[in-house]
Amino acid sequence: MEILSQMWSLLGLLTVMQNVLPSQLVSLLHSFYENLQDLLSPYSYFEIPEFNGYCGVDLNDLYRHVNLYLNAVNHSPAAACRRVTLSRSPSSNRISFAVAPNHTVHDNFNGHRLAWTHQVDTVQDSLDEKRSFTLRLPKRHRHSLLSPYLAHVTSRAEEFERVSRERRLFTNNNGSGSFESGWVSVPFRHPSTFDTLALEPELKKQIKEDLTAFSNGKDFYHRVGRAWKRGYLLHGPPGSGKSSLIAAIANFLCYDVYDLELTKVSDNSELRSLLIQTTNRSIIVIEDIDCSLDLTADRMLKKTNANAITTTNPKWKSGKSKTTSLRCSGEESGRVTLSGLLNFTDGLWSCCGEERLVVFTTNHRDSVDPALVRCGRMDVHVSLGTCGVHAFKELVKNYLGVESHVMFENVEGCIRNGGSLTPAQVGEILLRNRDDADVAMREVVSAMQSRMLVVGGGGRGGGEGWDQTDNEETAVGVGLRSPESVLMMGSPDNWDGRKRKQHGLNNCEKKVKFFVRLRSLTKSDSGR
């Protein structure tokens, strides 16, 4: 009681002195007390306000990073705080922690204990609040701790923001080239992941390793002087999983998706405008690139026009006149040209952003102009075919919840003999019979056997617009074995040579089979 009495007396004395002494002297004594406290304290304090300067307009980016770092769900400091605020946005199921006002959370970095205090003060004669974070760290190590710790905070905050933010699916407006309304978007919530994809395990591993190396390659791309982007060409029959693979890549990297419809783009200028509006950490997708525009005909048209002009008027042989005529026939025709699309994927304008994937899909790779798929534009070519054994088992596990079945051997035999189906075809059968695994497996085997008869008889199959000759172009080995999905990187010339060699072997085998069948028919006629 005596101590409390003395404390109250001291407080009363201080109050009287504050009212009696001049304000300048009181301010001087207060400053002297703070300096004495800082001198005797073993800690250093750094304040990070919400806004830069005194106007309260420019948001402090470091404050935002600290707030994300402390409020991350998988981060322990905020979760261990004595009082936290929980929040969840309407568009996300993720729950985030928020440090309560004027509370302190502790963190550890390189064996040192640090503390963050969330200070919230009410502005006098206003409803506004002044927010800031105060960092406390050991004074002896502040020079060696401050910079690496803030870099660690920024890195973790950016990673948390990338994973937790709501991702969007964009599409371009019809005939709108303005900067404000070039794209419209909806939330991207596609459920496809690499765990649910019907791909061979080795192919999944290769794609994931390549994507991981790309997303972590900022320093590498800057060091070698290349734009931080990567091109993917996905080709294969309808139903082979091209769109599902794009969704799985977006979910794996947590990127936005820009679905570019070339038929809605009026000219090359609008195409560049749309490219400028795309954000970093995004995937730009052009599906069915061979059907979107007749880009391959551009070169033939220019060559035909040039020959016709040169033939009819020899004076047009000069380079300047020919260039002028080609420009008039192509770029001034008011449409997207092959040159404009090439600049979109690999020109100077393609470097206006970072960490972006450009993905083309097609059902027929040979129909795509070679300039679009060369190295530097499409770095990775993924050939998606029919289901292999591992991919089929993955589908059965996902749809039916079955990891083994007595009819797996029958399915493997059908696949080896050319009866393999696309993932979409298998998935439809399994979905229709998901309540009875035995019925589903019998129907799959029946469909594969029918496929074998169609292939053996030279008929069509494998999806709308896709015949057996297309399957043979990507087949591995000789015979009726179904193609497996593969990933290829390097020079496309090597792939074309390998494909031509394989195609020649397939043609030879066709001729042999034809003569064998002709001989059997001749024998049967002579027998009659």
Whether residue 61 is found in the same domain as residue 124: yes
Give yes or no: residues 159 and 269 share one domain.
no
8 A C-beta contact, residue 99 and residue 80: no
Residue 229 placed within a domain: yes
Together in a domain, 267 and 400: no
Q: What is the largest CA-CA distance in the chain?
A: 133
515 sits in which H/E element:
helix 492-527
Q: What is the pLDDT of residue 471?
A: 43
Name, in order, each residue with C-beta under 8 angstroms of 467's C-beta and a sequence gap of 6 or more: 460, 461
**Helix, strand or coil, per DSSP, at residue 348:** helix
SS (H, E, C) 248-293: HHHHHHCCEEEECCHHHCCCHHHHHHHHHHCCCCEEEEECCHHHHC
Query: Within a domain: residue 323?
Result: no
* Cβ–Cβ < 8 Å for 71, 97: yes
Each residue's pLDDT tens digit in the chain (528 positions)? Answer: 667 676 677 667 667 766 776 777 767 766 766 666 666 678 888 999 988 876 666 788 899 899 888 876 445 555 556 677 777 766 566 666 777 788 888 888 888 889 898 888 887 767 778 889 999 988 888 888 899 999 999 988 888 888 777 889 999 986 544 445 689 999 898 999 999 998 888 999 999 999 999 999 988 998 998 889 999 999 999 999 999 999 999 999 999 999 999 888 888 888 888 888 888 889 999 999 888 766 555 555 555 555 554 455 554 444 444 333 333 344 445 578 888 888 877 777 777 778 899 999 999 888 888 888 887 788 999 999 888 899 999 999 999 998 889 999 999 999 888 888 999 999 999 999 999 999 999 999 999 999 888 776 654 444 444 444 344 343 333 233 334 566 666 444 444 444 444 445 455 555 545 444 545 444 444 444
Q: 113 and 256 in one domain?
A: no
286: Cβ contacts below 8 Å, ≥ 6 apart: 260, 262, 292, 358, 359, 360, 361
**pLDDT value of residue 33:** 65
Residues 47 and 129 in one domain: yes
Kindly report, residue by residue over 120-157, the tens digit of the pLDDT: 888 776 777 888 999 998 888 888 889 999 999 998 88
- pLDDT for res 491: 42
Give residue 463's pLDDT. 43
Residues 159 and 291 in one domain: no
Q: 327-344: buried (b, 16+ CB within 10 Å) or exposed (e) per residue?
A: eebbbeeebbbbbbbbbb
**For the chain, how many structural domains are there in total?**
3
Q: What is the CATH number of the domain that holds 248?
A: 3.40.50.300
Both 205 and 281 in one domain: the answer is yes
The residue segments making up the domain with residue 53 are 43-164
Predicted local confidence at residue 396, as pLDDT: 93
Task: Round to whole Å and give the CA distance between 418 and 448.
Answer: 8
pLDDT of residue 192: 93
Pair (54, 98) in one structural domain: yes
In sequence order, the β-bridge partners of residue 363 are none
Domain membership of residue 2 (yes or no) is no
pLDDT number for residue 76:
52
Residue 208 counted as domain residue: yes
From residue 416, give the alpha-carbon distance in Å to each of 297, 385, 388, 393, 411: 39, 14, 9, 15, 9
- Residue matched to tokens 């997207």: 336
- Predicted pLDDT at 263: 85
| pLDDT score, position 498 | 46
pLDDT per position as a tens digit, 307-350: 554 455 554 444 444 333 333 344 445 578 888 888 877 777 77
Residues 248 and 359 in one domain: yes
d(CA 385, CA 485): 5
Q: How far apart, in whole angstroms, are the C-alpha atoms of residue 327 and residue 333?
A: 9
Instruction: Give the pLDDT of residue 323.
Output: 37
Q: Across 217-275, where does the E strand assignment appear?
A: 229-235, 256-259
Are residues 241 and 135 part of one domain? no
Asked whether residue 322 is domain-assigned, the answer is no
| Residue 486 belongs to some domain of the structure | no
Task: State residue 250's pLDDT score.
Answer: 94
Same domain, 55 and 70: yes
Q: Which of 164, 183, 209 is the last residue of a domain?
A: 164
Query: Can you tell me the distance from the alpha carbon of 121 to that of 128, in angstroms, rounded to the nearest whole number?
Result: 9
Q: What is the rounded distance in angstroms from the CA atom of residue 154 to the CA atom of residue 151? A: 5
How many residues appear in the chain?
528
Q: State residue 334's pLDDT score.
A: 54
For residue 282, tell me if it sits in a domain. Answer: yes
**Reported pTM:** 0.69
- 150 and 83 both lie in a single domain: yes
pLDDT of residue 266: 85
Q: Could you tell me the end-to-end alpha-carbon distance of the chain, in angstroms, rounded to an integer?
A: 128
Q: What pLDDT shows up at residue 423?
A: 92
Where do runs of H (alpha helix) occur along 347-422? 389-400, 408-416
Given 434, 454, 474, the domain boundary residue is: 454
CB 198 within 8 A of CB 394: yes
Please give the single-letter amino acid code of residue 482. S
For residue 97, tell me if it sits in a domain.
yes
Residue that finishes a domain, picked among 164, 186, 209: 164
